A and B are shown apart, each in its own frame.
Chain A
Amino acid sequence: MTLCILLLTLYQLYYTSSKKFLEMEKLSLAEKRPIFSLLTTIITFAAYYWYVTELYIEKTLTVQTEIEFWSAVILILIPVFVVSKIILMIILTIINTIITGEETRFDKLDEFGKLIDIKATRNFYHVFIVGFLAFLSSLAFSFNVFISFNIILFTILVSAIIADLSEFYYMRSGV
Chain B
Amino acid sequence: MSPLISRGFGGRRRRDVDASRIPPGQYVTDDFPVLSAGPTPSGSLDTWTFSLTGAVDEPTSWSWEELLALPSEEIRTDIHCVTKWSKLDTAWRGVSVDILLEGVDTTADFVSAFCDGGYTTNLPFADVTDGQAWVAYEFDGGPLDPVHGGPARLLVPHLYFWKSAKWVQGLELLDHDEPGFWETNGYHNRGDPWKEQRYWSD
Pairing of A with B: no
Interface residue ranges, B against A (CB under 8 Å): none
Interface residue ranges, A against B (CB under 8 Å): none
